[in-house]
Amino acid sequence: MSNAVAVQETRQLHPHPAAVNDARAASSATADTTVDQTGEQDIVPLSGEVFGALINLSGRRRFTSQRLVLYAVLGSQGHPGATAVAREALALFRGAHTSLLKRSGELPGVFCPELEEIYFGAPGGDARITGFAELAGRALNAIDDKLKSAPELLAQLVKETTPLLAVLNQITGVYEEQSKKHARLMRNQLRGIMTDIETIAREAKMVAFNARIVAARSGQAGKEFSVVAGVLSSITGEIDELVKAALSGAAA
């Protein structure tokens, strides 16, 4: 199967919704929604915690790729246990990549056009990453089996490390930028909600003020009504303080 066909099948099986920073997705910006084969929606909320996990996994690929190459070289030089460490790094590398691409109950997969482009577009991130992992596996097998092809495969692996690292850095940058845009969107939404609450509280305060005037004019019959109006006034004051605190936090 060619890479182009594989990419096309991947896109058909996993359609990607608009990016969280896309204005068209503003009404559903906190979730990545797909429909599985049973017709049920699979919703993966996009939160600060989720973005932290995505960035950590992307960083893990960078770290383990370097560790893998280092111990592969040490293994070729006869250091005991070096190839075993390299294989552990390879397993972590592959696992992180799979977690980032495959949508699950906890992670959103390739959730925006920027990621789709860098993984499956011109930069060829997915092809380069999977190709590196396959080459690493072949090189480690050759080193362990002491094959004549081991030095050549190791040289190819070392040569591929620098361009791979450049792509991994680019991908991590996309995750970091999406995280920042998501945080800005959430702050803007919070400000909007707080402004609405502030308006309601201001109107409630005016109602309470008018109610106390009416109660005062009603004499004895208005005493109980005056108590209720006082409680309402106290509540609106507390709401004012909460709104100020929330807006202060949103501006940070």
Q: What is the pLDDT of residue 162?
A: 93
Q: What is the pLDDT of residue 234?
A: 67
27-36: per-residue pLDDT in tens? 333 444 444 4
Q: 29-49: string of b/e by CB count within 10 Å (b at 16+)?
A: bebbebeeeeeeeeebebeee
pTM: 0.65
61-108: per-residue pLDDT in tens? 999 999 999 999 999 999 999 999 999 999 999 999 999 999 987 899
pLDDT band at 239 (very low <50, low <70, confident <90, very high): low
Q: What is the pLDDT of residue 11?
A: 40
pLDDT for 242 beyond 70:
no
Q: What is the pLDDT of residue 104?
A: 84
pLDDT for 50 beyond 80:
yes
pLDDT band at 45 (very low <50, low <70, confident <90, very high): confident
The residue that leads in pLDDT, 90 or 180, is 90
Q: What is the pLDDT of residue 106?
A: 85
Q: Rounded mean pLDDT of the chain? A: 77
137 vs 28: CA distance, rounded Å: 41
Residues 31 and 43 sit within 8 Å (Cβ to Cβ): yes
Instruction: List, in order, residues 6 or more apart from 248 with CB less than 8 Å away.
Output: none
9-20: per-residue pLDDT in tens? 434 433 333 334
Q: Is 43 helix (H, G, I), strand (E, B) or coil?
A: strand
3 vs 97: CA distance, rounded Å: 17
Axis crossing angle, helix 223-251 with helix 150-217, rounded to the nearest 10? 160
158-169: per-residue pLDDT in tens? 999 999 999 999
Q: What is the pLDDT of residue 38?
A: 38
